[in-house]
Structure 1
Amino acid sequence: MVSPLDILHDTFGFPAFRGVQEDVIGRVMDGCHTLAVMPTGAGKSLCYQVPALAREGTAIVISPLIALMHDQIRSADAFGIRAASLTSADSDADRQQTLQRLKAGELDLLYVAPERASSGHFRELASRIKLSLVAVDEAHCVSEWGHDFRPDYRLLRPLLDSFGNVPRLALTATADRQTRADILVQLGIPEDGLIVAGFDRPNIRYHIRPRDGVSTQLKGLLAEQEGAGIVYVPSRDKAERLAEQLGQNGRRRVLPYHAGLDPQVRVRNQAAFVKSEDMVMVATIAFGMGIDKPDVRFVAHAGLPKSIEAYYQETGRAGRDGDPAEAWLFWGAEDFSRARRRIETEVPDDRRGGERQRLNSLAALVETADCRRAILLHHFGEDPPARCGNCDNCLAPPSTVDGTETARKLLSAAFRTEMRFGLGHLTDVLAGRDTDKVLNFGHNRLSVFGIATEDELALVKPVARALMARDALRADDFGGLSFGPGARPVLKGEEEVRIVLAPKKSGRRRRGGDAADHPHDPLFEALRARRRELAAEAGVPPYVIFHDSTLREMAGLRPTTLHGLSQVAGVGVAKLERYGEAFVETIRNFEESPA
């Protein structure tokens, strides 16, 4: 049997395991059932790929999306790994060929969806082959407590128990304590089989701003941010409108993605994004787990994510290659009102408490003047340092002001006006303005009329935003503001309302693989150009051939022989044979060219 370390070096071109990879792989090699919680970009795929090659038989990998399977198969093929899928998208000929290879023992990895894996027919098929392991990817989908519950995942236990002696490996990047406990129970993994690597993504810089003309805000971001990016929006209509607005200057390609698009257009847009090095996709969360693109340099949210877990997972699609990346969130008070209405009307009673808690955690994240990363990691049960040094609040600490008295006056105004008017009208009442609406309703005779000072009036909008985030104020479909459960402690003076003042605009250092992070290197650019040519010839995304980090190491070491190239991290035997000569030639030509 070949050792896992030899496979890591020879097949994948890496000198050593990272983080908890060795612990996870060691348990699988010993035949133990395991749940590995590892941040995106920590190398979860290696945790089943390496033992699949080291152990006898075929590894079944249960994955939630066809697009994700095909992307992983494409990457596996580049490393010389024999991989295939059985999906509804496969042709009859492809399906028959895969079954023949499976029965002949000619597959290292077989990818299937949970719907197929949970069927009796597939269980019977699996009983006729030698299994090396069963991997359940995106395992948080098994838990009703998770943010992305998929009922078919809860039907996998019979398959797993049919092969009780085959090690089962569940993998996820997003699971709080409650979700982790549920995954262990649902998939039959012992408590001592839990390995948590941590949730920190130190290469991602977090920025959060109140929404103020989001199209303009995003145009500014795209003007400064290089590389491929994703902009998440709350609706299909918004995806198309914003994609058109952001693409107007023609500097870079911007395309929409949502479930309502024609399927062929959707597939075409996703394929274009995966192959591009600088395209921007404006998408709903339908553009989700199927994206395994490592060189996404930024993710921006034009509205509030569904939960703090969803925020973590969606921002985690940036910087999977380990290079610097950015996460931007532009939020509005109305986002929280919509989210709370969704919880009360669409979420089952037994799950509402957990959903409210997640939304409150998200409110704490967007409102804080403290470290964003610390709040995010605290939510997942970690004990991080007070400052991370790589979020907006750590890099430029904002000032705060006590808005408690303003908040109490605003709540009083909402109460005195029978909690059916919007913020604009309440502001007029607090300011003592004799508008027609104020006079018609007799609100100029209320005790709250004109009680706010000029300084307090300047705080009304951010105070309202803060009160809605913490569920002290709620907005109805027409914008009318009424009390939420968080109003009472504010009114009684039991809870302080501190307002974070937005920092003054200043030129910010650009991120995302630009010159600020990696000084311009003509050899690196030449290697990227060669990679682009090879990728076009092979019909695969450039990152499938080599990641930027591998090309950067090539540019630094400048190997002019295949043996020298084999010492570069990420250059395994199959890639060396397939692409080595092309990159060595590029380096030689560069070395021989006049300075």
Structure 2
Amino acid sequence: MANPPTDPHTAALLGAMRQYWGYDEFRPLQREAMTSVMEGRDSVVVLPTGGGKSLCYQVPAIAMGGMAVVVSPLISLMKDQVDALRNCGVAADFVNSSLSAEERREVSDRVQSGETKLLYAAPERLLMTGTLKFLQQQNVSFVAIDEAHCISSWGHDFRPEYRGMRVLKDAFPHAAVHAYTATASEAVRDDIAKQLGLSDPSMLVGSFDRPNLAYRVRSAQQRLQQIAAMVERHKGEPGIVYCISRKEVEKTAAALVELGCRAAPYHAGLSPDQRKKNQDDFINDRLEVVVATVAFGMGIDKPNVRFVVHAGMPKSVEHYQQESGRAGRDSLEADCLLLYSRSDAVTWRRMIENPSEGGDADSIAAGLRALEGISRYCAGVTCRHRMLVEHFGQAFENDNCGACDVCLGELDLVDDPVVLSQKILSCVARLDQRYGADYVCKVLCGSTEQRIVQSGHDSLSTHGLLADERAANVRDWVEQLVAQAYLIKAGEYGVLQLTDSGLRLLKGDGDPKLLKAAAKAAPSRRESRSSAESWEGVDRPLFERLRALRSKLAGELSVPAYIVFGDASLRDLARRRPTTLEAFRQAQGVGEKKLSDYGEAFIAEISAHCSETGAASDVEVEAPAPVVATPEKSMPGASSLAAFPFFRDGLSVDEAAEKMGRAVSTVQKYLSDYLKHEQITDPTPWVPRATALRIEEALEACGPGRLRPVFEHLGEEVSYEEIRVVATCVANRQQA
């Protein structure tokens, strides 16, 4: 077993996971989160969407005595989670306004008899005097609060009714309280703990990276065609398209229907019945695509969403992380495409500054800061995974994620970005760093409007320096330099100023990346490495047959298809092709109840397929490994390529830097690109042999991953640059 018991609770937790969910091991941080519950210590747990948050409280609820109370914000989400739990054999109930008086009495009877292990309730229902008084008479083991970021006014989905949750510590003094969310900054986490009155809580924060998601950002040129291309790429698979306005939602949904796609709109302007129907149709696979405003999604617990498209720029990085995170919750590969234009930022700014429900100065300022953050992401030309992870204050160790448009080499970059960047930065400097982006672009493009002439800026050496370029392209390059921290926008009016990196770049020390004006409009069909690995060994015709069987069974039970089995389980069954119950039990996600309920039907379908096609049955395979990002080889920039001949001739970094007239730190990056691109395995031209051997021994002792443990293992006597060179060469040998 991958996770041998090391504490008194682990065996019980693993036993429950295996029996009810068919899982043999913990995902990252699940053990720690579950142990906090078992030990009765309050906690705040932040795990990305698809990271297994729900199991963090569902598994301990089974392993402990009594009943867990789960606070959930939406009726639809409660129903889906309770249906899924019951399908696994777990006694779960919910209480909300959708139940009749008779149904509420039945739930009350099951709770009083001790039959119910998890009881879901909305915050409004839970805080009713009658509900609290009733639950205080029961054996409540702990309280779990889902979507806990709603508690904090610092969060991106603040809900005032959540603030009342503080009374839970007084109402259940002997029960720990646990808060769970997918996105929360340090300030939000601290505020959650404060508002709930938690006592010395465990603060457990998982990685914000979602390596199974392939992120792409494109300039919105022909939005509908770009969206249609993504839908066609995932024909027959579920996806979500987000639009900023209701009008765009209706227009896009109608166009997709005309193209033969089973699509429907979702926004607050529809009647509650229509919204519910469209959401239910999507969950139950009667629809392929939902086109929605941001009102859609929090209540969706659908694990097999294969793509999410943002037809416009979202409101913040936090919103984007949460909305795009609704793809690939089953840890299989999924695509996230963001289409944007500067007009999107104008639309959001207007909505933030003139909120329909009012807003104080602090909330407006916070909204504008968040908008600036997502604008930098859209204009960025560095690894998308890195930008998202670092936004939330975490380090991203991979040089190449292998799962975004930047690292897959899909961006069309200008050939000499240094010179182009220097022209823009020089103009900012000659304008004394006192003007905004629009004005700087007008000067660069040679505008002779009255304000420029009266200020004498038409006589600057940078006036008209980019007269051959479209103003929109120059404006995009400015934003890209801001995103790469060569420029910043300062003050209320967004005045452009040079950073220290920008000043160094003016002297030739830097490696900016700028997109060509005619960037590719549609996502490449090149697949990330994780996509190929997740399908390895899968009998695709059998997979489709099992999908059809799953849909049939789900229809008979009136539950969403994923509640029967997720796509990951079907792929594993289509690898193994089991024809006995014992072999079927070994597949991913097969617990005791699902084995009993569905085993015979699936075995019959698999046996029929093997008989008809001659495919081997009962194949021995290793359990599918979790999806991780595998670095892929991407094309280095023009500046890096210019350095390659020097390295081929055996020049050191210092010598190459002198030849190129660049800073040593910049050329060190060029060497890293050279080693990876040329698959160099011998580090000794750049690292003394004795030092290289020491580093290799340290790498073997510390294992692959972060460089800091290696640095410390070597007594902090060897530079990170030398360690990185040797580590790259060792990795190249292993891939050879």
TM-score range, shorter chain: 0.7 to 0.9
> How much has 1:358 moved relative to structure 2?
2.5
Distance 1:64 1:411 in 2: 51
Pair 1:531 & 2:531 matched: no
Superposition TM-score, scaled by structure 1 size: 0.87
Q: Distance in 2 between matches of 1:206 and 1:503?
A: 16
Q: Which residue number corresponds to residue 485 of structure 1?
A: 493
1:478: which partner in 2?
Answer: none
| Offset, 1:6 | 1.1
Q: Verify: 1:592 aligned to 2:600, yes or no.
A: no
**Unaligned residue ranges in structure 1 (runs of 5+):** 473-482
> Please, what TM-score do these two structures have when normalized by structure 2?
0.71
SS at match of 1:321: coil
Q: Which residue of 1 aligns with 2:378?
A: 366
How far apart are 1:536 and its partner, in Å?
1.4
Match of 1:109 in 2: 118
Count, aligned residues = 574
SS in 2 for 1:247: helix
CA contact (8 A) 1:224 1:510 kept: no
- Comparing 162-171 with 354-363, which one deviates more in the overlay? 354-363
Q: Distance in 2 between matches of 1:292 and 1:447?
A: 60
Indicate conservation of the 8 Å contact 2:42/2:201, yes or no.
Answer: no
Q: For 2:173, which of 130, 145, 164 is the aligned residue?
A: 164
Mapping of residues 17-416 of structure 1, within 5 Å: 17-226=26-235, 227-250=237-260, 252-276=261-285, 279-346=288-355, 347-385=359-397, 386-396=399-409, 398=411, 399-400=413-414, 401=417, 402=420, 405=423
The equivalent position to 2:567 in structure 1, one of 544, 548, 552, is: 548
Change (3 A) 1:136 1:571: same
Residue identity matched to 2:202: G
Quick one: distance in 2 between partners of 1:108 and 1:309?
33
User: Do the aligned partners of 1:430 and 1:448 also contact (CA within 8 Å) in 2?
Assistant: no
Q: Distance in 2 between matches of 1:407 and 1:237?
A: 40
SS of residue matched to 2:189: helix
Residue 348 of structure 1 aligns to which amino acid in structure 2? Answer: D
> For each residue in 1:107-161, what CA deviation from the matched residue of structure 2 results, as whole angstroms up to 9, or x when unmatched?
1111111112223222112111111211000111111111111111111011232
Percent identical among aligned pairs is 37
Residue 214 of structure 1 contacts residue 330 of structure 1 at CA under 8 Å; is this kept in 2? Answer: yes
User: How far is 1:292 from its partner?
Assistant: 0.6
Post-superposition CA distance 1:283-325 (Å, at most 9, x none): 0011021011000001111111111111000000000001100
CA, structure 1 residues 444+31, in 2 after alignment: closer, same or farther (shift >3 Å)?
A: closer
Preserved CA contact (<8 Å) 2:428 2:497 = no
* Partner AA of 1:232 in structure 2: Y
Cα pair 1:429 1:449 within 8 Å, conserved? no
Q: Distance in 1 between matches of 2:244 and 2:378?
A: 17
CA contact (8 A) 1:336 1:468 kept: no
Kept after mapping to 2: 8 A contact 1:257/1:283:
yes
User: 1:265 corresponds to which letter in structure 2?
Assistant: Q
| Deviation of the 1:29 alpha carbon | 0.9
Q: In 1, are the aligned partners of 2:151 and 2:195 still within 8 Å (CA)? A: yes
Deviations 1:443-462 (A, max 9, x none): 99996679865954424203
Q: Tell me the SS of whatever aligns to 1:458.
A: coil
Query: What secondary structure, in the 3-state scheme, does the structure 1 residue paired with 2:335 have?
Result: strand
Q: Which structure would you say has the larger RCO, counting Cα contacts within 8 Å and 6 or more residues apart?
A: 1
Q: Deviations over 1:480-511 (max 9, x none)?
A: xxx96322526999798974336446852257
The answer on 1:563 being equivalent to 2:582 is yes
8 Å Cα contact 1:489-1:495 kept in structure 2: no
Closer, same or farther: CA 225–325 of 1 in aligned 2, 3 Å? same
Mapping for residues 430-441 of structure 1, pairs under 5 Å: 430=445
Which structure's CA Rg is the greater one?
A: 2
**1:239–1:257: 8 Å Cα contact kept in structure 2?**
yes
Ranges in structure 2 where 5+ consecutive residues have no aligned partner:
1-8, 484-490, 506-511, 615-736
Give the 3 Å change call, closer, same or farther, for CA 165–442 of structure 1 in structure 2. closer
What SS does the aligned partner of 1:32 have?
coil
2:182–2:322: 8 Å Cα contact kept in structure 1? yes
Give the Cα–Cα distance (whole angstroms) in 2 for the partners of residues 244 and 403 of structure 1. 43
The CA deviation string for residues 236-267 of structure 1, in whole angstroms up to 9 with x for no partner, is 111111111122111x2111000110211111
For residue 407 of structure 2, what is the amino acid of its counterpart? C
CA RMSD of aligned residues (A): 3.5
Cα deviation, 1:392-441, whole Å, max 9, x if unaligned, reads 1111164253356458879999x99x99xx99xx97995679xxxx8xx8
Q: What is the distance in 2 between the residues matched to 1:383 and 1:200?
A: 10
Is structure 2 residue 583 aligned with structure 1 residue 573? Answer: no
Q: Distance in 2 between matches of 1:357 and 1:51?
A: 39
CA contact (8 A) 2:257 2:263 kept: yes
Aligned residues of 2:249 and 2:265 also touching (Cα < 8 A): yes
Supply the AA of the counterpart residue of 1:233.
C
What residue in structure 1 maps to residue 725 of structure 2?
A: none
Looking at structure 2, the residues matched to 522 and 404 of structure 1 have their Cα atoms a distance apart, in angstroms, of 55
Which amino acid is the alignment partner of residue 485 of structure 1? Answer: Y
Cα shift readout 1:185-244 (whole Å, capped 9, x = no counterpart):
112234551111211110001101121121121122222234211011111111111111
Aligned to 1:480: none
Are the equivalent residues in 1 in contact too, given 2:480–2:514 (CA < 8 A)?
no
Provide the C-alpha distance between the structure 1 equivalents of 2:577 and 2:353, rounded to a whole number of angstroms.
60
Partner of 2:22: 13
The residue type paired with residue 247 of structure 2 is D
How far apart are the structure 2 equivalents of 1:587 and 1:50?
Answer: 31
Aligned-pair CA distance for 1:58: 1.5
Report the CA distance shift for 1:174/1:514 in structure 2 as closer, same or farther (over 3 A).
closer
